[in-house]
Chains A and B, each alone.
Chain A
Amino acid sequence: MAANIGILRRPVSTEGVWGWITTVDHKRIGILYGVSAFIFFLIGGIEALLMRVQLAQPDGTFVEAGTFNALFTMHGTTMVFMVVMPAGAAFFNFLVPLMIGARDVAFPRLNALSYWLFIFGAILMNFSFFKAAFPDVGWFGYAPLTTSEYTLSSSTDYWVLGLQIMGIGTTAAGFNFVITILNMRAPGMTLMRMPLFPWMTLIVSFLIIFAFPPLTIALTLLLFDRFFGTNFFDTAGAGADPLLWQHLFWIFGHPEVYILILPAMGIVSDILPTFSRKPLFGYTTVVFAGAVIAFLGFGVWAHHMFTTGLGAWATAAFAGATMAIGVPTGVKIFNWLATLWGGSIQFKTPLLFALGFISMFMLGGLSGVMHAAVPVDTQQQDTYFIVAHFHYVLFGGSIFGITAGIYYWFPKMTGRMLSERIGKVHFWVMFIGFNMTFMPMHILGVLGMPRRVYTYSVDQNWAGLNLFVSIGAFIIALSILLLIINIVRSARKGEAAGMNPWAASTLEWAIPSPPPHYNFAVIPTVRSQHPLWDEEANAVEPPPLPAHGEPHMPDPSYWPIVIALGITMVAGGLLIWQANTWLGLLVIAVFGFVGIRGIYGWVFEPVAEESAERVHAHH
């Protein structure tokens, strides 16, 4: 049955670059996501630093207005879609199968496709820098500024298409993790025995599959307006309503906020028990609080639009819903504190970052409650107070949580420890730099500084605080340098981690670090929430491989990257079509064929001949 239906033989080797390109191993895909996210984090960070140089003094001349607008657009888009989301995906991929006792995700090739769509979409968007200019319409691209009437440059086309492709990849990943977590758990791993991280992954995956379609539609409508002359956002000619875009975008955009923060909450919920040496306080409450946050997250989008003239009733309803969402969030924070209460707290680096998460995220939540008070929001909306707020949530929250996760699971991923000493310095430098950067932004907001201004004048009197903020930004940059040093140092001379360096309780710590490609030699049977604390049977030594050798894992495949390339280049063809109709159509036709051919190749892909023989030998 090894009939060679594809033009490409199914690859066998997992070595070298081709091994990475064709990999379907969730751990390798996780590492690809993580490394990509980190690179984009550096890019987005540099964009932020350039903005801070410009704003360090009044009437700055470091960059021009257009450049500055491109910088904040790309900084926002990059940090949301190319950093925090893929960083979350990196943890989903690497850890979820390990934590639920599975050998891989439900659809390994779909998983690879998700990654390639993400990275190609991200590259396509950044490619605009070389062809036109970076997109400069803001990360939420309010119509009608984004229509071709007001943005002549094709940079917005790159923004739309790049986001669209990344969105498809993300949605596919959402499906994959819903199925993986619902269907691939080890025997005995009931939903209510799962660690919090897979729980939050499940919730995030549901958010993704329900929240991304509105964005897909919004982007499609804008794309049709820009490319084919439809009227969805044509306010002047066709009488379209520009608020349609805002509604569609924020129906996606607010759940997106929880897509960004819930993984970090999951990470922290799993780190706290390990370092306070006691189980999570109120496990069920924390799980359901996460679910309630996700559910309510779909009903609060219009709080981004309080100043757009929604009408009194809608405004009051959304203000109420927004305040309501503060309750489960507060409950989580109290449960985390209660987890620490009565423990034996070990101040290891992952815990420091987790504590940083709790405190900073709480401050972000409190400023969030302030904007829910609509009258206050009319003074805060679109000022630096908002900038401060969402950086407390997304940097103080997501990034601190993700960094906690990096320190916690790095030993599992690589087999080596990161330095505790550098780690602690890293924490304090980042913590101080973060607060120096974003705390004064609250005051700038109170003093009336609008966001997204490329300059301000002396008489507005914001200079001192802005200089202070800019210094803080460079201190954050320094802390990231420390992280890089720590990782490089660990690669060269990090201590061996062993299976369970933190004496943690969950399944991923029951296998070697780094895990073998098949994860578990024998799928464990789970009987409690804390298998490594409660049971001797599952403790440290992994059971030997069964007699017939290594478990058979899916073969690598070329098709994911082929399909992703097809989809991306069809988008590329659309962009070329703007300039050169026939060449564009040719590219669309060729790569459309490649994509469809890829789908058929995927569907009818045989197992690799070599492994087919191996399987035969066993049976």
Chain B
Amino acid sequence: MRNNRPTGAGNTNTVTTPTAHPQNLAATLRRLLYFTLAAVTLVAVLASCDTPLTTFEPRSDATQRIHTIYIFVIVAASIVGFLVLAAMAYILWRYRERPGHTPQQIHGNTTLEITWTVIPILILIAIAIPTIVWIAGTTADPDEDALHIEAVGHQWWFEFRYPGLGPDGEDLVTANELRIPVGRQVAITLEAKDVIHSFWVPQLVGKTDMVPGRTNILEKFTPTEIGTFYGQCAEFCGSAHALMRFRVHVDSHADFDRWVENMNAAPVEPEAGSVEAAGARVFTNFCARCHTIEGVSTEEIGPNLTLFGDRATLGAGILDSTPENLKAWVSNIRDIKPVLETTNAMPTFYVGDPLIDQLTEAQVDQVVAYLKSLKLR
């Protein structure tokens, strides 16, 4: 019978001998840490150039507030993380197995343990305070002159309604490209038609889910800069979730007012005999079953296409709105987006197979020309 009371290296009952050299280990750990930190910083700097969905370049008062807290928690967490890792590296190096070193049989130390219970509590309170203040701030009523918008999530596109800005005081409706004026508070309510989606424009406002059967209130925000910003559905919502994107155009007040005015006017009749005129007929016969163009059609199954010619993108923000892309889209949406053949989904119009085709290639070209002609006056 042998006593196995633990001792130092001289008397361990081990089968293999250690092959790692602890000094090297500690050094390796440290080098790894420096390398990681350096790499992370480098990558962050490099990647933040021109990433349209970055959360680190706030362009509204709301994201600016979040950003301040974000940086604070990152710094706090990094300091804690670094200190603990450094302490760990030191301990591993200092108390590595060495001849003649006897491990101290300590069972605990109440003072120490209370200390390292209290310190995290203090750090967490420091994080909790701005959090609670921020939450309290979100309950404030919108400004009196705030622009009210209802955003509705559909599989897989966004509908935007501006109550009272449409013809005869009704809703002004657009889709996938939200236009808002700079420097004016925007108060958006969120709904969903089918499943849960999430509304998110990283540079302008944090995300809030769009839940069917509920009306959620997005944090109020005031854009501080004119420009175009990327939005994205952030809650998994089915096959084409990845392709449910949108844009937000922050305009000057004059541009915004002009846009609203144009949205309320019927498009100019295309010249008789022109390609656009032919396209308008195709639109009325086919597209109008689902799509609205102000003054032309009224169905709201698919996205509203008023002033479509001025949109930068098509297909819920996934493609540049070039004639080629638009032609591909109208011809066969399923080449671009994983959409099933359900009642509310856009049909396949032209694949070169007479059994399937509803339109000829010429008709597709005509409707593309027509849609591209729907521009601001």
Physical contact A–B (CB less than 8 Å)? yes
A residues adjacent to B (C-beta < 8 A): 64-66, 69, 136-138, 142, 144-145, 150, 235-236, 239-243, 276-279, 281-285, 307-309, 312, 315-316, 319-320, 323-324, 326-327, 330-331, 333-335, 337-338, 340-348, 352, 355, 358-359, 362-363, 366-367, 369-370, 372-383, 417, 420-421, 424, 435, 439-440, 442-443, 446-457, 459-462, 464-465, 495, 497-498, 500-503, 505, 532-534, 536, 539-541
- Residue in B55, B81, B155 with the greatest tally of chain A CB atoms within 10 Å: B55
The answer on a CB contact under 8 Å between A448 and B14 is no
A381: which B residues are within 8 A, CB to CB? 198, 207, 234
Q: Interface readout for B88-117 with A: 1 if CB under 8 Å, 0 if not?
A: 100110011110011111111100110011
B216: which A residues are within 8 A, CB to CB? 308-309
Residue of B nearest to A320 (CB): B128
The answer on a CB contact under 8 Å between B77 and A347 is no
B residues adjacent to A (C-beta < 8 A): 1-9, 12-16, 18-20, 22, 25, 36, 40, 43-44, 46-56, 63, 65-66, 69-70, 73-74, 77, 80-81, 84-85, 87-88, 91-92, 95-98, 101-109, 112-113, 116-117, 120-121, 124, 127-128, 130-132, 134-136, 138-139, 155, 190, 194-196, 198, 200, 202, 206-209, 211-214, 216-217, 219, 230, 232-243, 318, 338
- Residue in B15, B212, B243 with the greatest tally of chain A CB atoms within 10 Å: B15
A382: which B residues are within 8 A, CB to CB? 198, 207, 234-236
Question: Which one of A236, A372, A462 lies within 8 Å of B131 (CB-CB)?
Answer: A372
The answer on a CB contact under 8 Å between B101 and A344 is yes
The answer on a CB contact under 8 Å between A69 and B108 is no
B219: which A residues are within 8 A, CB to CB? 378
- Residue in B2, B196, B239 with the greatest tally of chain A CB atoms within 10 Å: B196
Distance of A319 from chain B, by nearest CB (Å): 6
The answer on a CB contact under 8 Å between A341 and B19 is no
The answer on a CB contact under 8 Å between A447 and B51 is yes
A366/B80 contact (C-beta < 8 A), A337-B91, A501-B15, A532-B4 known:
yes
B84: which A residues are within 8 A, CB to CB? 333, 337, 362
Question: In the complex the two chains form, what is the Cα distance from A101 to B236 in whole Å?
Answer: 48
Other than the given A344-B98, A372-B131, 5 more pairs (CB < 8 A) read A316-B135, A330-B120, A376-B70, A417-B15, A440-B43
The answer on a CB contact under 8 Å between B91 and A457 is no
The answer on a CB contact under 8 Å between A373 and B127 is yes
The answer on a CB contact under 8 Å between B66 and A239 is no
Question: In the complex the two chains form, what is the Cα distance from A493 to B108 in whole Å?
Answer: 42
B92: which A residues are within 8 A, CB to CB? 340, 345, 355
B65: which A residues are within 8 A, CB to CB? 375
The answer on a CB contact under 8 Å between A369 and B73 is yes
The answer on a CB contact under 8 Å between B132 and A150 is no
A536/B3 contact (C-beta < 8 A), A331-B113, A359-B88 known:
yes
26 residue pairs of the A-B complex, CB under 8 angstroms, read A64-B338, A136-B239, A242-B196, A277-B12, A278-B103, A308-B208, A316-B132, A326-B124, A330-B116, A340-B88, A342-B106, A344-B9, A347-B20, A348-B18, A352-B20, A359-B88, A369-B77, A372-B131, A424-B20, A447-B54, A459-B52, A460-B230, A465-B47, A501-B15, A502-B13, A503-B12
A283/B107 contact (C-beta < 8 A), A278-B6, A323-B127, A346-B97 known:
yes
Question: Which one of A324, A326, A450, A540 lies within 8 Å of B233 (CB-CB)?
Answer: A450
The answer on a CB contact under 8 Å between B95 and A138 is no
Question: Which one of B18, B47, B55, B121 lies within 8 Å of A346 (CB-CB)?
Answer: B18
A367: which B residues are within 8 A, CB to CB? 77
Residue of A nearest to B128 (CB): A323
The answer on a CB contact under 8 Å between B217 and A541 is no
Distance of A452 from chain B, by nearest CB (Å): 4
Question: In the complex the two chains form, what is the Cα distance from A362 to B18 in whole Å?
Answer: 26
Distance of A467 from chain B, by nearest CB (Å): 12
Residue of B nearest to A339 (CB): B106
The answer on a CB contact under 8 Å between A378 and B208 is yes
Question: In the complex the two chains form, what is the Cα distance from A383 to B97 in whole Å?
Answer: 43
The answer on a CB contact under 8 Å between A536 and B138 is no
Q: Which 6 A-B pairs have the closest CB atoms?
A: A448-B53, A378-B206, A453-B242, A309-B216, A65-B338, A503-B13
The answer on a CB contact under 8 Å between A241 and B214 is yes
The answer on a CB contact under 8 Å between B97 and A345 is yes
A452: which B residues are within 8 A, CB to CB? 236, 241-242
The answer on a CB contact under 8 Å between B43 and A358 is no
B237: which A residues are within 8 A, CB to CB? 145
Question: In the complex the two chains form, what is the Cα distance from A346 to B13 in whole Å?
Answer: 12
Question: Which one of A330, A335, A377, A539 lies within 8 Å of B4 (CB-CB)?
Answer: A539
Question: Which one of B18, B52, B101, B207 lies within 8 Å of A378 (CB-CB)?
Answer: B207
Distance of A238 from chain B, by nearest CB (Å): 10
Question: Which one of A69, A359, A373, A424 lies within 8 Å of B239 (CB-CB)?
Answer: A69
The answer on a CB contact under 8 Å between A326 and B120 is yes
A330: which B residues are within 8 A, CB to CB? 116-117, 120
A315/B43 contact (C-beta < 8 A), A278-B103, A381-B207 known:
no
B19: which A residues are within 8 A, CB to CB? 420-421, 424
Distance of A486 from chain B, by nearest CB (Å): 13
B66: which A residues are within 8 A, CB to CB? 375-376, 378-379
The answer on a CB contact under 8 Å between A277 and B8 is yes
The answer on a CB contact under 8 Å between B212 and A324 is no
The answer on a CB contact under 8 Å between B15 and A460 is no
